[in-house]
Amino acid sequence: MHEHDDPLDTSLRDLLTTSHRIAVVGASARRDRPSYDVAAYMARHGYEIVGVHPGHAGEKLHGHEVVASLRDLDAPVDIVDLFRRSDDVPAHVDEILAMAPLPRAVWLQLGIRNDDAAGRLRAHGIQVVQDRCLKIEHRRLLGETVSEHTT
């Protein structure tokens, strides 16, 4: 397995400590959904969370208005966190590559992997994390304490 398939802890720690704004594609307002739990956790740790979900566009979630698609973001994001099935990931690649500026990373949540889509993103200099939970990795690498991102 190559490092790009299994990023080193130092690489993930750097990403998490230098990122501030995360777009959560597939964000849910339902508290029993993993996308809600992960986004709420990251928001509690000082990250600005922008939900991306056409069914919730215009609603407030984690302190910010949900947008219908990545094209509707009003400011750059550091990480695009995908809560979509592996087969749905390629449909988001063109939308991600059209972002200006490009995000630093695309994070595919636990159980989500698409090597072809990851390769396309990496070819444009975007770090890709696959089949890992953002919340679990944050807790593992940075601990449960509120990070310096808190404002």
pLDDT digits (tens, 9 = 90+) for 27-60: 999 999 999 999 999 999 999 999 999 999 999 9
- Condensed to tens digits (0 to 9), the pLDDT of residues 80-127 reads 999 999 999 999 999 999 999 999 999 999 999 999 999 999 999 999
Model confidence band, residue 6 (pLDDT cutoffs 50, 70, 90): low
Q: How many CA atoms lie within 13 A of 14 on its CB side?
A: 8
Domains detected in the chain: 9-142 (3.40.50.720)
Q: Residue 143's pLDDT is what? A: 82
